[in-house]
Amino acid sequence: GDAFDEDCDYLFKAVLIGDSGVGKSNLLSRFAKDEFRLDSKPTIGVEFAYRNIKVADKIIKAQIWDTAGQERFRAITSSYYRGALGALLVYDITRRETYESVRKWLQELREFGSEHMVVVLVGNKCDLGQSREVEKEEGKGFAENERLFFMETSALQNVNVEEAFMQMITKIHHQTG
């Protein structure tokens, strides 16, 4: 078997989704930086990062999938979502059109993902407050209506990145544990 799976209690799959350029890959490398493990799979256009997290007395291995840019062409396949228990749905607070796309990504998540998928809506690039085009309250309100979790982050300044991933992972843990 896979050496990754031997010393953990649970293995979760989660996905990153959202328009191109919103910061998905930078969020993932921030989160995964300590035990960084990025396996490039160019043939299927997907990358994975793993991180082990201790929740209570259990070790959870979070397997987080990142796109390899195919979101640019709206060409994410259903296999990307298959089996995912969580998602970070990311927009860029300085580009309103990326926020307008959130609805479309949510539809795709709900169509192809697990029924009880834990979704965290993430407004990234909060370090660029002077160029803000989406108010925090707006993202938060949308998330509440759609029963998503919400967080504003900065991958650049490492603000709330750990919190966003951990919120997703601990909620998944509570659902499945």
Q: Near ligand GDP by CB under 6 A, which window of 5-13, 49-57, 125-133, 144-152?
A: 125-133
Minimum CB separation of residue 113 from Mg ion in Å reads 19
For position 123 contacting ligand GDP by CB under 6 A, the verdict is no
**Which of 24/61 has CB closer to Mg ion?**
24
Lay out the site mask for ligand GDP across 139-158 (x = CB under 6 A, - = otherwise): ---------------xxx--
DSSP the chain: --GGGTT-SEEEEEEEESSTTSSHHHHHHHHHSTT--EEEETTTTEEEEEEEEEETTEEEEEEEEEESSGGGGT---HHHHTT--EEEEEEETT-HHHHHTHHHHHHHHHHHS-TT-EEEEEEE-TT-GGG--S-HHHHHHHHHHTT-EEEE-BTTTTBSHHHHHHHHHHHHHHHH-
**Which of 5/163 has CB closer to ligand GDP?**
163
**Which of 16/53 has CB closer to ligand GDP?**
16
Query: Using CB under 6 A as the criterion, which residues of the chain lie in contact with ligand GDP when the complex forms?
Result: 20-26, 124-125, 127-128, 154-156
